[in-house]
Amino acid sequence: MATPPESLSPAAAAVEDDWEEARGLLYEAYNELQGLAAELGGAAAPAPAVVVVGHQTDGKSALVEALMGFQFNHVGGGTKTRRPVALHLRFNPRCHVPRCRLLAGSGAGDDEDEEAGVAGRAMPLADIQAYIEAENMRLENDPSQFSEKEIIIRIEYKHCPNLTIIDTPGLILPAPGRKNRVLQSQACAVETLVRAKIKHKETIILCLEDCSDWSNATTRRVVMQVDPDLARTVLVSTKLDTKILQFARASDVEVFLHPPTCVLDGSLLGDYPFFTSVPSGRVGSCHEAVFRSNEEFKKAISLRELEDVASLEDKLGRGLTKEEKNRIGVSNLRLFLEELLRKRYIESVPLIIPLLEKEHRGATRKLREVNQEISDLDEAKMKEKARLFHDSFLSKLSLLLKGMVVAPPDRFGETLINERINGGTFTGSENFLIPNKLMPNAGMRLYGGAQYHRAMAEFRLVVGSIKCPPITREEIVNACGVEDIHDGTNYSRTACVLAVAKARDTFEPYLHQLGFRLLYIMKRLIPISAFLLEKDGENCSSHDVLVKRVKAAFDRFAESTEQSCRERCMEDLVSTTRYVTWSLHNKNRAGLRHFFDSFVAQEQLSVNTLTAHSTGLHEQSSGLNDNKQDRPKGDFKSSNSSESNSPTVASETRLVDLLDSTLWNRRLAPSSERLVYALVHQIFHGIKEHFLVTTELKFNCFLLMPIVDKLPALLREDLESAFEDDLDSIFDVTQLRHSLGQRKRDLEIELKRIKRLKEKFAEINKKLNSLQVRQ
């Protein structure tokens, strides 16, 4: 911590002391604000912090230790830092040795329970260092290798700046090739972790570059993905003592100290890079230690700064300007960062006061609501409250069916794929499924009435595209049977038997699938309605028992209503497949007539050929069975007229031949098979159309409408019957009274803390303003 120079006047020294006191109060208040936000789960004003970013062996951890004035981390070659280390540094002139505390929340996953024993209590610096080294060793043997969970340490020390520094794992530059895939994946993981730490707008990025040529933007390549203009980035060139020896000419040193704008364009914090050197060696009492105490380590840092300045002046052949000296050494970097964060803290004070005012108003309103709920814990008021909640619940349910956009679709909506997974699919015996791209709104996340309408549209599309199942010759022959008065074949009856059997087996599964799907959609209305009530300010936590009771009553009503509706639809399907009514089943007569016209045209040639070849046979047969003398003369004339190709007689001949090949003949000719197939398809199509229309109509009338017009009365009746039995069946009064009392006490404590913080920040703001006026 910088102290006022002795050349300052007593008045200026007093002002500086007041600034230090104000800063101390500000940091303390900010820490208390962050702690309150963490306990309450709220969002406090983001605390300014410095995030150190660099590649492996760039000297990140060594620089952080030099900024702090003491060593704590696992420093060396290769990857040593495998978890981010967040250091909350606080200047405390009374702490002559670092006072460290490992904060709760620094758990290491599987070792979290073990760490809970040390988290939150003071620990010696050696134990902190041992803990960090043990964590790095653990992660080195862990498959993940790295962890984004921070090790959080609060440190008070007389040489500490008031900073929050986050030391991140070193970035890796792996070699290409398949044999280096493991290292490449680790490099990707570290880069993702670092970008996540520096993405917050309030953070200051300390970008370390270990290079003597600013054209090599190794670390900047990653930083500029998040901060393209380097507007919140402080650039630091590490290991200056080793780089000075590499320069042979003074002009090279000039370019290094003052990089051209074409290389470092943008609004870089500090305008130019900083240059630092940290003496190598560890603090300790072992024979390998170079420094016996942190005081020796600090003196070595100061000595290293003086040596770097002298070496640069020797290389340049001139003395360094004041501006150049202010950018060389760890102490100057620390003063710059501390001043930068101090400004950030001071600038944030006017923003925190309105935030605390808002939190204070919110806590006051919540406390007032809790007091009102406690005063309403009598039977009459609770009954009326339950009735109001019941009415509000039903109104939200009705709005969901009619359509609304208040409930977030990303939380409550379902795409068609999700709906099929949770509510079942429309599939028949052939497992036919309509592709999503053919379904309207398939990719949209819907709920309520919109989801109901989409499910019904899918049902229409799926069932409407069903074709009559294939019919085998064996099925046709088995369906022919024997009539009770003759042994002829009634192919119209055969077609009816086949059609109704196929239709019943095809459509019945879809009826059950539709009922299950729509019932699932209806049951989803309950949690969405509860969310809408909570969004409108209804305290659903005090209505948990009531919501569960309403849900149970709704589920019972919806299930029984769906079953009753499905039974009605089943009756329709049974009646439609029990007796064929031609006015109902034969809707498309034009198509059937066209088929029979083509059928007769195809049969004409075969019938004429059959008649010509069998003329002699018919005449011989006539000679055996008929007596020409007994024939009427008219018949003889008719025969002669037939020979003259009379159209009427030809038509009658075709009809007789058709009957001969169908009604009087049990051999299943291709013509008979086509005839039966055409009739079956016609009847099946009629049943399908009737099934679609009646099913949709009945589910709308006997499932959807009862939820709209019958459910309110049923739930009100259930509520009133519960009032007669026991009030605790709706409200757990004892538990509710206890929870409200505990909540009242928590809100009172929260309100006091917010009030105290608000007064503290107001006092700090007033003091800072007065100091600015005095300056």
Stated as kind and residue range, the H or E segment containing 23 is helix 10-40
- Whether 90 and 159 map to the same domain: the answer is yes
Give 43's pLDDT tier (boundaries 50, 70, 90): very low
Does residue 230 form part of some domain?
yes
Mean pLDDT of the chain: 77
Does residue 1 form part of some domain?
no
Which residue pairs from 564-567 have beta carbons closer than 8 angstroms and sit at least 24 positions apart in sequence? Answer: 564/702, 565/515, 565/698, 565/699, 565/702, 565/703, 566/511, 566/512, 566/515
- Whether 347 and 388 map to the same domain: the answer is no
* pLDDT tens column, 328-375: 999 999 888 878 877 777 777 777 778 778 888 888 888 888 888 777
Provide the pLDDT for residue 757: 77
* CA-based nearest residue to 342, from 20, 37, 35: 20
- Whether 338 and 394 map to the same domain: the answer is no
Provide the pLDDT for residue 116: 37
* CA-based nearest residue to 561, from 515, 597, 526, 610: 515
Give me the mean pLDDT over the 44-62 stretch: 79
Q: Which of 299, 331, 351 is the last residue of a domain?
A: 351
Domain span at 333: 48-105+119-351
Supply φ then ψ for residue 239, to 5 degrees: 55, 45
Does residue 605 form part of some domain?
no
Give me the mean pLDDT over the 465-481 stretch: 84
- Whether 271 and 417 map to the same domain: the answer is no
Does residue 70 form part of some domain?
yes
| Residue 115 CB coordination number (10 Å) | 19
- Whether 269 and 391 map to the same domain: the answer is no
| CATH code of residue 260 | 3.40.50.300
- Whether 344 and 428 map to the same domain: the answer is no
Does residue 603 form part of some domain?
no
- The sheet carrying 85-91 orders its strands as 122-123, 99-102, 151-157, 85-91, 164-167, 49-53, 203-209, 233-237, 274-275
- Whether 99 and 239 map to the same domain: the answer is yes
Provide the pLDDT for residue 170: 86
| CATH code of residue 678 | 1.20.120.1240
Provide the pLDDT for residue 693: 92
Counting Cβ atoms within 10 Å, is residue 373 exposed (0-12), middle (13-18) or buried (19+)? buried
Q: Is the pLDDT of residue 76 over 50?
A: yes
Does residue 77 form part of some domain?
yes
- Whether 172 and 284 map to the same domain: the answer is yes
Which residue pairs from 118-127 have beta carbons closer than 8 angstroms and sit at least 24 positions apart in sequence? Answer: 124/100, 125/70, 125/72, 125/97, 125/98, 125/100
CB within 8 A of 422, min separation 6: which ones?
414, 520
Does residue 324 form part of some domain?
yes
Give 628's pLDDT tier (boundaries 50, 70, 90): very low
- Whether 316 and 404 map to the same domain: the answer is no
* pLDDT tens column, 149-200: 888 888 888 777 667 888 888 888 888 888 888 888 888 888 888 888 888 8
Residues above pLDDT 70, as percent of the chain: 72
- Whether 421 and 515 map to the same domain: the answer is yes
- Whether 407 and 493 map to the same domain: the answer is yes
Provide the pLDDT for residue 663: 55
Q: Is the pLDDT of residue 571 over 60?
A: yes
Number of domains into which the chain is organized: 2
Q: How far apart are CA 518 and CA 510, in angstroms?
A: 12
- Whether 287 and 423 map to the same domain: the answer is no
Does residue 247 form part of some domain?
yes
234 bridge partner residues: 206
Provide the pLDDT for residue 637: 43
